[in-house]
Each structure stands twice: as structure tokens, then as C-alpha cells.
């Protein structure tokens, strides 16, 4: 049985939202953000989507680049 996140079902606080935004801006993986905030990866993705926060790493080159 999977371990339940510690903040599961609780309202997001302003400090949690700020932490999530800061971690996402710093290229922190979604799994680690979830662990640090005590929430599930799905809840992190959902809240990030609601707030238009990108969780995609910015330090990776796109796969669809054309070679010249």
C-alpha cells in the first residue's frame, strides 16, 4: 500500500504555494517538490497547472531540433 502524503486533503497555504513556485523556478523535479511539501506529485501538477507554473526543466534542449 502506498504511503499517503502528509498534507493530503488540506488547503494550500500561501507559503506552500511560494515554496512550490521557487522550487519549480529552480528546476527542482516534481517528485522532489512533492516530497518537500508533503503532497502527492499529482497535487503538485494540479496546483501548478491552476497557477500557470511550469514544471518543465529549463536546462534541457528540446528533442525536436532540426540539424542544419
Four-CA torsion 42, 45, 47, 52, nearest 10 degrees: -160
pLDDT surpasses 70 at 47? yes
Residue 33 domain-assigned (yes or no): yes
Band of pLDDT at residue 22, cut at 50, 70 and 90: very high
Total number of domains in the chain: 1
Band of pLDDT at residue 68, cut at 50, 70 and 90: low
**How far is CA 12 from each of CA 15, 20, 43, 67, rounded to the nearest angstrom?**
8, 10, 10, 45
Residue 7 domain-assigned (yes or no): no
Residue 43 domain-assigned (yes or no): yes
Residue 60 domain-assigned (yes or no): no
pLDDT surpasses 70 at 36? yes
What residue spans of the chain are helical by DSSP H?
A: 14-25, 30-37, 41-50
Which domain range does residue 18 map to? 14-50
Amino acid at each position: 500500500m502506498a504511503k499517503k502524503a502528509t498534507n493530503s486533503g488540506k488547503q494550500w497555504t500561501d507559503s506552500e504555494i511560494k515554496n512550490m513556485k521557487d522550487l519549480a523556478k529552480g528546476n527542482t523535479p516534481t517528485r522532489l517538490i512533492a516530497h518537500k511539501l508533503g503532497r502527492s506529485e499529482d497535487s503538485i501538477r494540479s496546483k501548478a497547472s491552476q497557477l500557470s507554473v511550469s514544471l518543465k526543466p529549463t536546462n534541457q534542449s528540446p528533442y525536436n531540433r532540426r540539424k542544419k
